[in-house]
Amino acid sequence: MPSPDVFAALANPVRREILMQLRQGPRGVTELASGFALGRPAVSEHLQVLRKAHLVREEPRGRERYYHLDPRPLAEVEVWLEAFTRYWKQRLAALDDLLAEKGTT
Amino acid sequence: MPSPDVFAALANPVRREILMQLRQGPRGVTELASGFALGRPAVSEHLQVLRKAHLVREEPRGRERYYHLDPRPLAEVEVWLEAFTRYWKQRLAALDDLLAEKGTT
DNA sequence: TCAATACGTCGGAATATTCCGACGCGTCAA
DNA sequence: TTGACGCGTCGGAATATTCCGACGTATTGA
């Protein structure tokens, strides 16, 4: 059983592109697949990964199944990244301190 | 040949943890490996992936090899995520508009 | 009712990832 | 000089990912 890891879901470029496309509104599977050099089953399986990561929501509409974007799990990635923007700013501050110290000595 | 994809590099929890640890300063390989339930070769191979994604830099120091964090490639992830914060704000704005319209009608 | 459409999923193949033990190389300290 | 240390990498095994064609199911429209 594959894990419902958001980071793992984003590791594949096709899945990232699917999420990009879904920003512009819900799409059916065949509709989505037509944009890739991929068969429909492959896209359907990518959607399953995205579903397990809760990055998309499905809305059955008749015989079609529209996939909606749910960007909320991306917050986990954002939070993780913040640890590094903090790191970055910290480094810059340390550099400032170092320069200031050098200046006053 | 594996791709130097930053997203793929972040897909593995061990690699993410390595980056976290490196925020607190450069570390040797054996030192890093002691923090995981993993052999040294495995950690060394994870470091190779991170190196190819330019997320770490190596500094040979005597017989040790210190790995430094380089957070710059993470900017790509941040930029990608921004597309979805924009999406999110857009949705909220659309909701505001809808509510405002309802209020004035 | 019946053919066409939209979809999920399965079996299987190709490939990638992840991990380990073993080996060899350079470096250190005695 | 020599044994121990730190490291990268290789061969190989176990497992995961990615993709396809084929099939079954449900829905639509004629």
Chain A contact for B87 (CB, 8 A cutoff): yes
Q: What is the pLDDT of residue A2?
A: 35
How far apart are the C-alpha atoms of A91 and A97, rounded to whole Å? 10
Walking along chain B (105 residues) 10 residues at a time, the average pLDDT comes out as 77 98 97 97 98 97 97 96 87 82 71
Nucleotide nearest to A28 (CA to C1'): C6
Q: Which long-range contacts (CB under 8 A, 24 or more apart) does A83-91 make?
A: A83/B20, A83/B23, A84/B19, A84/B23, A84/B69, A84/B71, A84/B74, A85/B78, A87/B23, A87/B69, A87/B71, A88/B71
Give residue-wise pLDDT tens across range A80-101: 999 998 888 777 787 788 888 7
For residue B31, report the phi and psi dihedrals to the nearest 5 degrees. -60, -50
All residues at 6 or more sequence positions from B57 whose CB lies less than 8 Å from its CB, including other chains: B51, B67, B68, B70
Which amino acid appears at position B43 of this protein?
V
Chain B contact for A82 (CB, 8 A cutoff): no
Fold of the domain built from segment(s) A4-102: Arc Repressor Mutant, subunit A (1.10.10)
- Nucleic strand D under 7 Å from the C-beta of B82: no
Rg (alpha carbons) of chain B, rounded to whole number: 21
**pLDDT mean over A38-67:** 97
Q: Which residue in A76, A96, A80, A84 sits closest to B22, CA to CA?
A: A84
Q: What is the pLDDT of residue B105?
A: 59
**pLDDT mean over A14-19:** 98
Q: What is the pLDDT of residue B93?
A: 81
Our CA dihedral for A71, A75, A81, A82, rounded to 10 degrees, sits at 130
**pLDDT mean over A47-69:** 97
CB A56 within 8 A of CB A67: yes
- Candidates A80, A84, A85, A88, partner chain B, best to mutate (most B CBs within 10 A): A84
**pLDDT mean over A56-85:** 96
